[in-house]
Amino acid sequence: MNSTDKEARTEEEIASEEAAKAAAMAAAEAAGEDADDGSNAEAGESDPAALEQQLAEMKEKLLRSMADNENLRRRAQREKEDASKYAISNFARDLCEIADNLRRAIDSVPEERRQDEAVKPLLEGVEMTEKALLNLFERYGIRPVHPHGEKFDPNLHEALSEAHDEEAAPGTVLHVIQTGYAIKDRLLRPARVVVAKAPPKNNVDTSA
This prediction's pTM? 0.56
pLDDT tens across 80-133, in order? 777 766 778 888 899 999 999 999 999 999 998 988 998 999 999 999 999 999
Question: What confidence score (pLDDT) does residue 56 get?
Answer: 85
pLDDT band per the 50, 70, 90 thresholds, residue 47:
confident
Distances (CA, A) of 147 to 31, 157, 160, 180, 195: 86, 8, 14, 9, 11
Q: How far apart are CA 90 and CA 8, in angstroms?
A: 92
Strand partners, 162: 195
SS3 200: coil
Q: Is the Cα torsion angle 193, 196, 197, 203 positive or negative in sign?
A: positive
> Over 60: is that where the pLDDT of 159 sits?
yes
Q: Does 15 have pLDDT greater than 90?
A: no
Domain layout of the chain by residue ranges: 84-196
Q: Go through 182-207 and write b for each residue having 16 or more CB atoms within 10 A of its CB, e for each that does not.
A: bbeeeebbbbbbbbbbeeeeeeeeee
Instruction: For domain 84-196, give the CATH number.
Output: 2.30.22.10
Q: What is the pLDDT of residue 2?
A: 47
Query: What length does the chain have?
Result: 208
Phi, psi dihedral angles at 2 (to 5 degrees): -85, 175
Lowest-pLDDT choice from 8-17, 115-124, 132-141, 159-168: 8-17
- pLDDT > 70? residue 39: no
pLDDT of residue 177: 94
Per residue in 126-162, is it b (16+ CB within 10 Å) or e — as a string?
beeebeebbeebeeeebebbebeebebeeebbebeee
Spatial strand order of the sheet with 157-163 comes to 157-163, 191-196, 173-178
DSSP string, 124-188: HHHHHHHHHHHHHHHHTTEEEE--TTSBP-TTTEEEEEEE--TTS-TTBEEEEEE-EEEETTEEE
Distances (CA, A) of 84 to 72, 89, 171: 18, 10, 36
